[in-house]
Amino acid sequence: MDLAILTERAQMLHDIRDFFYARQVLEVETPALSQAGNTDPAIDSFSVDIGNTNTNSLPLLRYLHTSPEYFMKRLLVAGAGDIYQIAKVWRKEEQGVRHNPEFTMLEWYRIGFSYHQLMREVETLLLLLLPCLNESSCFITYQQAFLEKLNIDPHSATHTELRCCMQNQAIDIIGELDRSAILDVLMTHCIEPHFAQDRLTFVYDYPVIQQALASVAHATKTALPVAERFEVYSGCLELANGYQEQVDAVVNRAVLQQDAAMRMRLGKTTIPVDELFLQAMEQGMPAASGVALGLDRVLMQRLHKERLEDVLSFPWTMA
């Protein structure tokens, strides 16, 4: 445990709160334990036995949130306006040099912002928090990134073409991969490692199969539809993931139900779909963009540390 790291974390949190205070974005807190969980098949929630509290027949299991997204969107529906939250989040089995199952996330929502405007705001904040970065950030679409490095169009390539591309890159994979997983392999193994080390890279306009709760820009005469999503990297370290938020209640319900069905097909733990979130969406969510940023990783970059556990007060094994 290093006192300088605690001090630096405190300073970073202070800088973030100053940033949002100046912009009149309201800091909020939402519950960590929820009756419903995240149905995303690639993210696993911790469940907590809350004991028999014997009150209004609520479920006996609750889930530690994997991001405060659902709660914050309920606040947006309730008219909270621009909001941010600094929250601990929990993701089961995510452990490694750059992962800890419990980590700190900064999530914020801007009413009326386009995702492009939000990318610029993320850039401003990150350049403030990471003053050592070169200020000329790189902005590139997901498609451009694939065309430049792999000469393949991630939106139109067939499953077989993507598979071939993986083989040509001498990537030897064990396990069945669907289309989205192959794209993830190519991104993490072949594209991310080449991002400029000294600056931010924003990758945007994702394949529709990776839309999650982002809105989708429909096809034009010249372009296939894309999910209005972005990811932010510092060097090749992924820091944030943002959306032009999907405000259509019917689409939100469909995405969550598809995810829940996929979890079942994969034999993963069944997670109840968040009805309270979906009911709120039906009341009408204002047009907004939102982003979630991993603060421990920002601190890693700020302190030039290689391992996430180097910036935690206590690593997972000592917690």
Partner 1 sequence: MATYSTNEFKSGLKFLLDGDPYTIIENEFVKPGKGQAFNRVKIRNLKTGRVIDKTWKSGESVEAADVMDVDLQFLYADGEFWHFMDPNSYEQVAADATAIGKNKLWLKDGAICQVTLWNEVPLYITPSNFVELLVTQCDPGVRGDTAQGATKPATTETGATIKVPLFVEEGDTLKIDTRTGDYVSRVK
Site for partner 1 in 180-199 (CB under 8 A): 180-181, 184-185, 187-189
Span from 71-79, 87-95, 139-147, 275-283 in contact with partner 1 (CB under 8 A): 87-95
**For partner 1, which residue of 47, 95, 114, 144 counts as binding (CB under 8 A)?**
95
Cβ(169)–Cβ(150) under 8 Å? yes
Query: Of the two residues 184 and 248, which places its CB atom closer to partner 1 in the complex?
Result: 184
Q: What's the rounded Cα separation, in Å, for the pair 115 and 202?
A: 11
Residue type, 245: E
As a whole number of Å, the CA-based R_g of the chain is: 20
Binding string to partner 1 for residues 19 to 48, with x set by CB under 8 A, is what?
Answer: ---------------------x-xx-----
φ and ψ of 287, to 5 deg: -60, 130
Looking up tokens 């405190």 gives 10
Interaction between residue 212 and partner 1 (CB under 8 A): yes
Query: Of the two residues 93 and 135, which places its CB atom closer to partner 1 in the complex?
Result: 93
Interaction between residue 163 and partner 1 (CB under 8 A): no
Nearest distance from residue 211's CB to partner 1, in Å? 10
Span from 18-26, 238-246, 274-282, 311-319 in contact with partner 1 (CB under 8 A): 238-246
Interaction between residue 269 and partner 1 (CB under 8 A): no
φ and ψ of 36, to 5 deg: -115, 165
DSSP label of 192:
G
Cβ(239)–Cβ(176) under 8 Å? no
**Nearest partner of 94 among 291, 200, 238, 252, judged by Cα:** 238
φ and ψ of 51, to 5 deg: 75, 165
Interaction between residue 292 and partner 1 (CB under 8 A): yes
Footprint of partner 1 (CB under 8 A): 40, 42-43, 93-99, 171-177, 180-181, 184-185, 187-189, 210, 212, 231, 238, 240-241, 292, 294
